Chain A
Amino acid sequence: MLAQDFPQLASVEQIEEAFESHGYICSRKIATAVFLSFKLRKPVLVEGPPGVGKTELAKTTALMLDMPLIRLQCYEGLDEAKALYEWKYGKQLLYTQVLKEKLGDLLQGAVGLAESVDRLHQFGDIFYSEDFLEPRPLLRAMQQEKGAILLIDEVDKSDYEFESLLLEILSDYQVSIPEIGTVKARTTPMVFLTSNNTREISDALKRRCLHLYIPFPTVELEERIILSRVPDVDEHLRHQLVEFVHSLRQLDLKKVPAISETIDWARSLLLLHAEHLDEELVRSTLNVLLKFEEDIETTDGELRTLVRSSTDRQTTGVDT
């Protein structure tokens, strides 16, 4: 990848603007991470609570650079056959059957075993060549001619061993296949790893990455996000709903509403033609924001004060 190919990546500010034009409002820090990742050719390990736009970051980057997004979803038990490459066993078997007769022609006239084996050797390892190789996401990302965005999603869900497998790919952008040799990336892909912190990522992996932590956004940033995602919500309501979500995040909840929930909520309020927040409206739509019955119950008692405080803040906000 060359810098002049991507004017969007020339500086941190330009990245911010490019993201914004694709509907992804990001903090300065996120833009810095993308910039550095590109400049230093290092993967970015994105951490943060669920729903703050970790996966979205990779998707938007792919969109922005017009590159294919190759996604590897991690889960327990993921191994190299599913992540890296596999031999096309079926094809190999089929071909051996089909070629059986050819083998007879080939060996015609050969005297003794030694000569037959010699002849066979002339053909090399046909069955273990790239034609029989089934590339999985990681290898596919290496093979892209024009570069790619590789998203390794929820890397914390994978096994400890899998992390070690990633090390070679992330530091040297190459893959070793015993039968073929080392496959180097044609163009260095941009790599994003995401983690929800369900377990500690090993130091070796962390060391190879830039570490980006995305927290919940500030009120101001979240309003801008809503503005870009749900532009039809009017300013008054937008402010109220963001304030309300922020006060919800202060409560002791099992699952705190994230940005994606705020967006969903804004959309549903729009569908209901709401103009401002009131207790009844919030109560009937609360299940969009909170995904656990317990959470809804906890909030229920305090709903009145929460709604009032977020609408109050609105009026004072207008005054000043």
Chain B
Amino acid sequence: MQSNLVSFVQVLRSHDVRVSPAETLDAVDVAAALGYADRDLLRDGLAMTLAKTPEEEAVFLQCFDRFFSQGLADFSLAGTDDVASDESGAETSGEADSTISPDADPPGADTPSHAEALEAAARDSEALEALLETGLMRELMANDRNALTLAISRAADTAGLAQIEIFTQKGQYTRRILDALGEQHIRDAIIELEQSHSPALPIVQRYRDILREQVRDHVEREYLLHAEGRSSQMMDEILSNTRLNNIEHVYLHKVRELIRKMARKLASRHARKRRRMKRGQLDMAKTLRRGVANDGVLFNTYWRQVRREKPQILAVCDVSGSVAAYAKFLLLFLYSLQDVLPRVRSFAFSSHLGEVSSYFDDYPVERAIELINWKYGGATDYGNSLQDFAKLAIDDINSNTTVIVLGDARNNHGDPRLDILQSVYRRSKQVIWLNPESRGAWGTGDSEMLRYQSACHFSAECNNLKQLERIVDQLLKSAR
């Protein structure tokens, strides 16, 4: 059972629940203290050690049910006999533990007749005779669930089922497991019986179908357990490398989660620095100097204090059609970082510019972004927008201010008003320009990027989440 717990922990990890080895040990202790008899009790107990947030607990419950509910496979010849009553009894007994006695005695009089029919047919068919010799067939006919369940999971191990990654592999793994089980014999027998039009044919066929179905079920369950988590990790990986405006609409919610995850990571990395040093260290030299007035008695101490800077970030986002998608993600990122970046002001523009910070106070981030897109979308005019920006915010820009501009710098051949950006450049701590276009396209056509670039401390291409994350990380490092 211990190894079972360990593999359960593995499943949890693949579903993004972080479980440390120490917690695994705790889980083993918990299981020992509670026993395995009461499933709900065990589930609650394990949840307490393994899941640490309500979200993780939800995932945990899902995984727990899937993992521990693998009932015994049922191989009785459903449909031919009155096995229905027998089935319902067996399925409630849940546990995959092999301690349950095989309560499934083959339903009385019917099975012997199957066996007799088969034996009679076997006299004419060598393949069938060989088949009846195999352990697999014997277990099937006796409906020995424990043995068969065990056989299937063993065959799954040899086939490496735990490595299953994507759903298209299901068929392939089913085949491999069937081969490992020795399904070949059944197939041979069926071919031979078909040729001789034997009356035993439907019986053997049914056994084959039941076996296949059970194996397919097993693969399905394992897929849900192992692959779902893994493929969602793969999905995260792919999404974070995709150009943001190419991400399909259906994946948007995934991206949001991903951004939150990234933001949390960045927040925890940078949060600690902020809280450090309130009092500072004793400055001996200054303390001595102050003491001179008191005859050398160190009456007043002097503490060297770390000046806490209050970083301010002004995000200026182009929300015209071509860049709107990127603006959305940048804003989402910045506002997911509220804990570490409390003073974010945001501005949106296309033909004119306006401050949109209040939207984020009043609405949840996603809704706010929708409203902004709707209000400020249109054709771009950088000159006009910069002018608006200067009017609104230039007085608030000081040496603690970081200005982030997100835009493609395509000005429709208007006046770029570089002078305004230059004055922002001189006043602020840094100006960062993020451009979703690739570097090669900068300065082509109506792009003013090269000129704007001269008035930026830093400019970068930014069109997927990886790049975005790196830039925000850098921003957090430099902003304090």
Contact = CB atoms under 8 A, between A and B. Distances in A.
Interface string B245-276: 00000000000000000000000100010010
B29 interface: yes
Contacts of A213: 54, 57
B41 A36 contact: no
Contacts of B34: 12, 32, 35-36
A203 B52 CA distance: 9
Contact of A28 (B40, B54, B268): B40
B52 A32 contact: no
A88 interface: no
A36 B272 contact: no
Interface residues of B, number: 23
B33 A40 contact: yes
A254 interface: no
B20 A207 contact: yes
Contacts of B48: 32-33, 36, 44, 210-212
Contacts of B33: 35-36, 39-40
A22 interface: no
Nearest to B274: A160
Contacts of A47: 54
A32 B51 contact: no
B22 interface: yes
A213 B51 CA distance: 10
Contacts of B49: 210-211
Classify the secondary structure of B's interface with A. Answer: helix
Contacts of A161: 275
Contacts of A207: 20, 22-23, 52
B20 A28 contact: no
Contacts of A211: 47-49, 51-52
Contacts of A200: 268
B272 A160 contact: yes
B45 interface: yes
A107 B22 CA distance: 57
Interface in A6-33: 12, 28-29, 32-33
B26 to A, nearest CB: 7
A44 B49 CA distance: 10
Interface string A202-215: 01001100111100
Given A36-B30, A36-B34, A160-B275, A28 B44 contact: yes
Contacts of B54: 47, 213
B119 to A, nearest CB: 54
Interface centre among B51, B54, B268 (most CB of A within 10 A): B54
B22 A32 contact: no
A22 B45 CA distance: 24
A144 B41 CA distance: 32
Nearest to A171: B22
A245 B176 CA distance: 57
A29 B22 contact: no
Given A12-B34, A32-B44, A211-B47, 12 more contacts: A28-B40, A32-B45, A35-B33, A47-B54, A161-B275, A203-B18, A203-B52, A206-B52, A207-B22, A211-B49, A211-B51, A213-B57
The 9 A-B residue pairs whose C-beta atoms are closest, nearest first, are A210-B48, A39-B33, A32-B44, A29-B44, A206-B52, A211-B52, A211-B48, A40-B29, A32-B45
19 contacts: A28-B40, A32-B48, A33-B44, A35-B34, A36-B45, A36-B48, A40-B26, A40-B29, A40-B30, A40-B33, A159-B275, A160-B275, A200-B268, A206-B52, A207-B23, A211-B47, A211-B49, A211-B51, A211-B52
Interface of A: 12, 28-29, 32-33, 35-36, 39-40, 42, 44, 47, 159-161, 200, 203, 206-207, 210-213
